[in-house]
Structure 1
Amino acid sequence: MEQYLDLCKHILHNGASKEDRTGTGTLSVFGHQMRFDLAEGFPLMTTKKTAFRLIASELLWFIKGDTNVKSLIKENNHIWDEWAFAQWVESAEYSGPDMADFGRKANTDEEFAALYKEQMLIFQDKILNETGFAETYGDLGPVYGKQWRSWAKTDGDTIDQLKNVIDSIKKNPDSRRHIVTAWNPEFIEDMALPPCHIMFQFYVADGKLSCQLYQRSADVFLGMPFNIASYALLTHLIARECSLAVGDFVYTTGDTHLYSNHLEQVNEQLTRSPKALPTLVITEDEKSIFELEVEDIAIEGYDPHPRIKAPVAV
């Protein structure tokens, strides 16, 4: 993972100072690419502990076409909670303390952070236990899973892009059209968060499956380690489904940035040396990619440096 650390150094030394949607501020470069040979090990960050279970459960959520945080919260995965929470606290039904600008204030105001934590726990309980609440406030709109599995057509039908690309790889491996896109301009305003990783393409050569992802916006410290591992896992799962070995994961990013409140953490990570990459193990042989559960996927030999905490910019 030296290339990831080199990217962090590059941004620290060469990044342009930019404002952003969250109001946090970033150091940013435009256009970057990394390549990972998946046969050499699974690219899960070793210079800080990264939660593979969260990565796997989120990816399976996408693959199943789900867009509601209830499924994730049941798995104790809270990656998407803030975006659903915003829908509740900005609604007429919400009657608790003012949660305006909670993403920033929860990281800078201890008194507000305690109120925010309390309201988030109430929200999570309502999602899991209150009839109709998850349907109203837990759904994030037509985000990744919807576009991957049920892209809306003008005639009212839908396109299952993921199933179609698997069929295409099996039937016509040399095709240059093995593409899935999550960027659907018609529905961007209906999404809680427009997709950051917007398009991926598969490539077959010498019995190996490679994948290239284009990501329009990349949070290098918090998000990028998840994105790398998620699409590496997707490549493994699609290769398994198509009876192929794994090739490369090629990761191409547009606005590639470090948030201004992550710089101390990045510098701490840069003092650490990478360790050996772990191995991916899929314990279930009979299930298709659409039937796999989190417990069917595991990582072996993962011995990372300790976790480094940092605030999420919402």
Structure 2
Amino acid sequence: MSYADRVFIDMCRDIIDNGTDTRGEKVRPVWEDGTPAYTVKKFGVINRYDLSKEFPALTLRRTAIKSCTDELLWIWQQKSNNINDLHSHIWDSWADEDGSIGKAYGYQMGVKHEYKEGMFDQVDRVLYDLKNNPYSRRIMTNIYVHQDLHEMNLYPCAYSMTFNVTKEPGSEKLTLNGILNQRSNDVLAANNWNVCQYAVLLHMMAQVSDMKVGEFVHVIADAHIYDRHIPMIEELISRKPLPAPKFWLNPEVKDFYKFTRDDVKLIDYETHEQIKNIPVAI
């Protein structure tokens, strides 16, 4: 069975059975009808995935790999904060009349900073260090910039990525690992979406740096299931996991800025039916 399915099932069961219920508390999110969107939550959830063994896409339901890759490239490659550069409509609720989400996500990735070696934005600094300083313990990004929060239409949820390189005994290539820090995660709507996105990112960064891919660690401060999502989650985790798909990344691409969503595929990806009409709290 898919390892990602087992991680997801165990996480959801733990949240529902042992989590903290926010009903009756003052909460920010609301449903479209204005009702407060309460959650059951767990603090400090940490999930590990060995990408050298398996790609962590759920089979309990389908994760749209091209769409989540498209959003990843929108942030990390295009460094855009405008929804008109996206193929999907997942950001529409947070965009202004011009399509901007403010100084958030891709905007922060494109800001150049001064280093001893010169001016880099955060993505280019990662690529530079993976090539020139692979054993550095400082290869990381951070888009939770306090001075710009008031100009962001949504504070970043997945806000920091740390890359760490190891070397396996007898291996000619280095291994690239990564940790995603996330302040908040809507487990039904976004958990596996984010896992797949940053698994793809690690594969891409490893390929263009001539490395192997290793572990992806997902750290979530507030992993929550919304009250109206609990029946959907219960049905989802009652399904039988299927074998994990195989991951394909176009081996011809050696420049991170040349990747497109069509350079990513999941092969033999068999899944159960999709969960439809998921209400989204805003």
| Amino acid paired to 2:28 | R
2:84 corresponds to: 70
Shift of residue 14, structure 1, vs aligned partner = 1.1
Shift of residue 81, structure 1, vs aligned partner = 1.1
Alignment counterpart, residue 79 of structure 1, candidates 87, 90, 96: 90
| Amino acid paired to 1:79 | I
CA distance in 1, matches of 2:192, 2:134: 29
CA distance in 2, matches of 1:243, 1:283: 14
Alignment counterpart, residue 235 of structure 1, candidates 199, 202, 225: 202
Give 5+ residue unaligned stretches, structure 1.
Answer: 89-136
Structure number with greater Rg is 1
2:154 corresponds to: 193
The aligned runs of 1:204-223 (5 Å cut-off) are 204-206=165-167, 207-223=174-190
Q: TM-score, normalised by structure 2?
A: 0.87
CA distance in 2, matches of 1:287, 1:79: 29
Query: Is 1:144 aligned with 2:105?
Result: yes
1:236–1:15: structure 2 CA closer, same or farther, 3 Å change rule? same
CA distance in 1, matches of 2:43, 2:223: 6
Query: Is 1:50 aligned with 2:63?
Result: yes
Asked whether the 8 Å contact 1:143–1:192 carries over to 2, the reply is: yes
Give 5+ residue unaligned stretches, structure 2.
Answer: 30-35, 168-173
Asked whether the 8 Å contact 1:149–1:163 carries over to 2, the reply is: no
Aligned residues: 258
2:245 corresponds to: 278
Query: Is 1:175 aligned with 2:142?
Result: no
| Amino acid paired to 1:192 | N
Residue deviations 1:265-304, cap 9 Å, x none? 0000111122221122122614511121112222211111
Shift of residue 221, structure 1, vs aligned partner = 1.0
Shift of residue 149, structure 1, vs aligned partner = 2.4
CA distance in 2, matches of 1:78, 1:158: 33
Query: Is 1:21 aligned with 2:35?
Result: no
Residue deviations 1:159-196, cap 9 Å, x none? 41111111111111111001101110011111111100
Asked whether the 8 Å contact 2:65–2:264 carries over to 1, the reply is: no
Shift of residue 141, structure 1, vs aligned partner = 1.1
Asked whether the 8 Å contact 1:15–1:29 carries over to 2, the reply is: yes
CA distance in 2, matches of 1:243, 1:215: 27
CA distance in 2, matches of 1:67, 1:273: 38
Query: Is 1:250 aligned with 2:217?
Result: yes
Residue deviations 1:198-223, cap 9 Å, x none? 11101111111000011000111111
| Amino acid paired to 2:82 | N
Aligned CA RMSD, in angstroms, stands at: 1.6
Query: Is 1:311 aligned with 2:279?
Result: yes
| Amino acid paired to 1:80 | W
1:183–1:158: structure 2 CA closer, same or farther, 3 Å change rule? farther
CA distance in 2, matches of 1:308, 1:286: 34
| Amino acid paired to 1:52 | I
CA distance in 2, matches of 1:171, 1:151: 19
Query: Is 1:5 aligned with 2:9?
Result: yes
SS at match of 2:136: coil
CA distance in 2, matches of 1:236, 1:287: 12
Q: Where is the helix percentage greater, Structure 1 or Structure 2?
A: 1
CA distance in 2, matches of 1:269, 1:233: 24
CA distance in 1, matches of 2:272, 2:152: 35
Shift of residue 312, structure 1, vs aligned partner = 1.4
Asked whether the 8 Å contact 2:208–2:254 carries over to 1, the reply is: no
1:128 corresponds to: none
Residue deviations 1:198-256, cap 9 Å, x none? 11101111111000011000111111111100110111111011100000000001011
1:45–1:295: structure 2 CA closer, same or farther, 3 Å change rule? same
Asked whether the 8 Å contact 2:207–2:254 carries over to 1, the reply is: no
Shift of residue 158, structure 1, vs aligned partner = 6.9
